[in-house]
Amino acid sequence: MAEVPLLELAHARSGDKGDTANVGLMVYDERDYPIILKMVTPDRVKEHFKGLVQGPVERFRLDNLHAVNFLLHGALDGGGTVSLMTDAQGKVFSTALLRMRIEVPDEVAERVRGRGRHPGAGTGDSR
C-alpha cells in the first residue's frame, strides 16, 4: 500500500448554501470510485477539517457520476454576507479536501502519480 493525496485520484468543485459548504468529489478514473467510497468517509472528512468545520459532515453518493457530495455544516462563519472569511462562499474547500492523504494499492499509486498538478508546477508541497 502507498499513501497519496486525494488530488491524484479526484477533482472537485465546491460552493455554499448558507453556512454550509458543499464539496462535490469526482474520480478521474471510475476504477478508483470504490476507493473513494471506502476511504473518504464522512468521519475521515470531519477529522480532516477539524477546527475548520464546526458542524456535522454528510456524504451523498452519486454512483451514476462516480461522484460523492459532501455537506460541511458550519464551515463558513455564518456564510455569505455575514462571514468574515476570505472564502465566505466556500469556493475553495474543494482543494482543501484534495489535500487529504489516503491509502491505495501500490499499482494505483503508480498509475495516478503526479495527476492534478500543473505539469510545470514543480514539486512543491502537495499536502
Partner 1 sequence: MTRTVPRRTARSAANAPGPRSGARRGKVRVASGQGFWGDDLEAPVRQVNGGDIDYLMLDYLAEVTMSIMQKQRSRDPRAGYARDFVPLMERIFPACVERGIRVVTNAGGVNPAECARAVAGAGRRAGAGGGARIGVVTGDDLMDRLDELLASGHPLANMETGRPLAEIRDRVRSANVYLGARPIVAALDAGATVVVTGRSTDTALTYGPLAWEFGWPRDGWDLLASGVVAGHINECGAQASGGNCSAEWWSIPDLAGVGFPIIEAGPDGSFVVTKHPGSGGAVSLRTVKEQILYEMGDPSSYITPDVVADFTTIRLSEEGGDRVGVHGIRGRPPTPSLKVSVAHSAGYKAVGTLVYAWPDAAAKARAAARILRERLDRLGLAFEKVLVELVGWDATHGHLAGDPPPDLPEVQLRVGVRGPDRAAVERFTREVAPLVLTGPPSVTGFAGGRPRVQEIVAYWPALIDRRAVEPRVAVDMVEV
Which residues inside 28-67 make contact with partner 1, applying CB under 8 A?
Answer: 28, 48, 51-52, 60-65, 67
112 three-state secondary structure: helix
When binding is defined by CB under 8 A, the residue of 42, 46, 77, 111 that contacts partner 1 is: 77
Nearer to partner 1, 106 or 122 (CB): 122
Nearer to partner 1, 38 or 61 (CB): 61
Nearer to partner 1, 36 or 98 (CB): 98
Q: Does 123 bind partner 1 (CB under 8 A)?
A: no
Nearer to partner 1, 12 or 108 (CB): 12
Helix or strand (DSSP H, E) at 37: helix 33-39
In the chain, count H helices and then E strands: 4, 6
Residues 6+ apart with CB under 8 A from 13: 23, 24, 94
Q: Does 15 bind partner 1 (CB under 8 A)?
A: yes
* Interface ranges with partner 1 (CB under 8 A): 11-13, 15-19, 22, 24, 26, 28, 48, 51-52, 60-65, 67, 69, 71, 77-82, 84-87, 92, 94-96, 98-99, 118-119, 125, 127
